[in-house]
Amino acid sequence: MRQIADWLDKLGMSEYAQCFAENRIDVSVLRDLTDQDLKDLGVVLGDRRKMLRAIAELASDDTPVTAQRPPLTVRKQQDTAERRQVTVVFSDLVASTALSARMDPEDLREVISAYQKCVAETVRRFDGFVAKYMGDGVLVYFGYPQAHEDDAERAVQAGLDLIAAVTGLKSRAPLRTRVGIATGLVVVGDLIGAGEAQERGIVGETPNLAARLQGIAEPNTVVIADSTRRLVGNLFELEDLGPKDLKGIAGPARAWAALRTGSVESRFEALHATGLSALVGRDEESELLFRRWSRAKSGEGQVVLLAGEAGIGKSRLTAALLERLAAESHTRLRYFCSPQHTDSALYPIIGQMERAAGLGHDDKPQARLDKLDAVLAQTSTSTQDAALIAEMLSLPNDGRYPALDFPPEQRRQKTLEALTAQLAGWQASNQY
């Protein structure tokens, strides 16, 4: 992998080194890469052309890249299409025509390339698949080629992050984008075109609906179809735009504007806001959990791990236990992880503290600090610990806390100690 990293660095494309490493692409398979392979990896068009030329030069070079030079093989792509439920994201650069009228073509090319690269990097974090670049537009699939149980949620979050990323781009002109998202059944995977122009096509109404929703979106806004809205539940704060007449779409289509991530406590509850179905066939598991609770009440500490494949009812079983304990005195602490925040070890704790303090998106910095002080006062938290917790929550210090001057490792240790002290100080109440 070091040789691949050095090769990419010589080409001025070191940003792709991690992606190559994650996909186990070493020098033994380098010459086998096709344009479609590089596209699947998220390499933008201009960089793909440069890489293919460099690979061709390696293939004609007599000097082996490794001790044993592998034979150059040509892989035959199979034309295999399949029926999938896919969430389609269509992102378009706002006012690109006006930009082309006042910018030199080379400058415009740099702007659009920066925009396309920003889109590719953003959606890749959520396992999105960049299917096609269409001038100043980008077509992205969630649910193909790799499917997840939360593809609709990933798509909406990627759209929100994409707007923030494009707005923050340092470009020759301020950039804005519109995003349309729709979910539905499609036939995806057909090979369209030939040679380097070959790409994976998608057939169905869903991509057309996503493109039309993008067309009615305000700049820097994500608009989602009703099919996507039903899948994300209350995970996001949404604005009902009502039914819309869209060109090429039969009948009015209801549309929603995704404003921001919601402040829900539980993904499970957010996705089942209309109520829970009856719990069937889990009597033994329910009784086991309740027996462990009885032991814990008697002073015999217990830990229970519920494990299993997605969709078998782990969250529903937990919800049933909470319903059963509602009348009993207890303190409930709930922490939720997220596959989109695997690089943030304290993400579950941050979310729990924000909910405990009742921090709102529209709160001013001083109001957020006041709310945090109110909840920390219940556990007689020291001012230094309060400063550490406020810093963990990315809240500014307005002078009410002492300035922190710790090296990184000591700061981390003291933050963990402050959080441990919070756990020890919480009384048996339902405050949390």
Interval 195-246: pLDDT, tens: 444 456 778 889 999 999 999 999 999 999 999 998 888 888 899 999 998 8
pLDDT score for 65:
42
CA 347 to chain centre: 14
Q: Please check whether residues 92 and 239 belong to one and the same domain.
A: yes
| Residue 72 within any structural domain of the chain | no
Q: What is the rounded distance in angstroms from the CA atom of residue 340 to the CA atom of residue 295?
A: 36
Whether this model's pTM surpasses 0.75: no
**Boundary of a domain, candidates 262, 287, 307:** 262
Going from the C-alpha of 377 to that of each of 124, 367, 369, 373, the distances in angstroms are 42, 15, 12, 6
| Residue 245 within any structural domain of the chain | yes
Q: Please check whether residues 227 and 285 belong to one and the same domain.
A: no
**Boundary of a domain, candidates 229, 262, 295:** 262
Q: Please check whether residues 222 and 90 belong to one and the same domain.
A: yes
Whether residue 63 is predicted with pLDDT greater than 50 in this model: the reply is: no
**Boundary of a domain, candidates 294, 313, 329:** 329
Q: Please check whether residues 120 and 258 belong to one and the same domain.
A: yes
Q: Please check whether residues 306 and 324 belong to one and the same domain.
A: yes
Q: How confident is the model at residue 194 (pLDDT cuts 50, 70, 90)?
A: very low
Q: With beta carbons less than 8 A apart as the criterion, state whether 188 and 201 touch.
A: yes
Q: Please check whether residues 251 and 284 belong to one and the same domain.
A: no
Q: Please check whether residues 209 and 324 belong to one and the same domain.
A: no
Backbone angles phi, psi at 8, to 5 degrees: -65, -35
Measured over the CA atoms of residue 316, residue 318, residue 321 and residue 325, the dihedral's sign is: negative
Q: Nearest CA to 372 among 403, 385, 420, 362?
A: 385
| Residue 267 within any structural domain of the chain | no
Q: Please check whether residues 293 and 209 belong to one and the same domain.
A: no
What CATH number does the domain containing 233 carry? 3.30.70.1230
The dihedral over CA atoms of 77, 25, 86, 118, expressed in degrees to the nearest 10, equals -120
Structural domain tally of the chain? 4
Q: With beta carbons less than 8 A apart as the criterion, state whether 156 and 215 touch.
A: no
pLDDT score for 380:
82
| Residue 66 within any structural domain of the chain | no
Lowest mean per-residue pLDDT among 97-101, 356-360, 390-394: 97-101
Q: Please check whether residues 168 and 235 belong to one and the same domain.
A: yes
What CATH number does the domain containing 21 carry? 1.10.150.50
| Residue 411 within any structural domain of the chain | yes
Whether residue 429 is predicted with pLDDT greater than 50 in this model: the reply is: no
Q: Please check whether residues 207 and 294 belong to one and the same domain.
A: no
Instruction: Give tens-digit pLDDT for 84-142.
Output: 899 999 999 888 877 777 778 888 888 888 888 999 999 998 989 998 888 788 999 99
| Residue 70 within any structural domain of the chain | no
Domain that holds residue 176: 82-262
Q: Please check whether residues 325 and 309 belong to one and the same domain.
A: yes
Q: Please check whether residues 101 and 170 belong to one and the same domain.
A: yes
| Residue 270 within any structural domain of the chain | no
pLDDT score for 67:
38
Q: What is the rounded distance in angstroms from the CA atom of residue 105 to the CA atom of residue 48?
A: 21
Q: Which residue has the higher pLDDT, 276 or 14?
A: 14
| Residue 350 within any structural domain of the chain | yes
